[in-house]
Amino acid sequence: MKTIPKLLKLALLLSAFNLTLQAADLINQAGASHVGLGGYDPVAFFSEGRPVHGDPGLKAGHQSVTYFFASESHRQRFLAAPDRYVPQYGGYCAFGVSVGALFPVDVATWQILDGKLYLVLNPEVRKAFDQDPSGTIAKAEKNWPGLVRKNSN
């Protein structure tokens, strides 16, 4: 008899987890804090050409995720056009998405192509991405909607 309440608790916990995934719209974020990019400033990739730690006191939200910024001017730029600065594929590894998987990322292995920020798992995967960036992106674009559906249910 004690098994049924435990199973019910487990089912409720899994349902809550599923709702969290749907609300977050499949974005790679730091647990309950919902911090995107590991606290790095998304605008800095574009303006400074490198990852820069953001200040938790300078933050803004977008799609249920909180982003930190290195300066108020970066925060304002983000607020004016957030979709321009957020990483592609919810901040998951672009190469991973191209092969139908969700991999974490290393912010040191990033690239801007056609005005969009792409992140990858590590330097070795970055080499694979760089072999055919447009082909990898085309495959990722095809796979992304299915990954969102699969991981949001």
| Mean pLDDT score of the chain | 84
- Read off the pLDDT band of 25 (50, 70, 90): low
For residues 125 and 99, is the Cβ–Cβ distance under 8 A? no
Q: Which residues pair with 113 in a beta bridge?
A: 116
- Read off the pLDDT band of 28 (50, 70, 90): low
Q: Which residues pair with 111 in a beta bridge?
A: 118
pLDDT of residue 19: 32
Cβ count near 103 (within 10 Å) = 18
Coil vs helix vs strand at 90: helix
d(CA 111, CA 123): 12
User: Is pLDDT of 54 > 90?
Assistant: yes
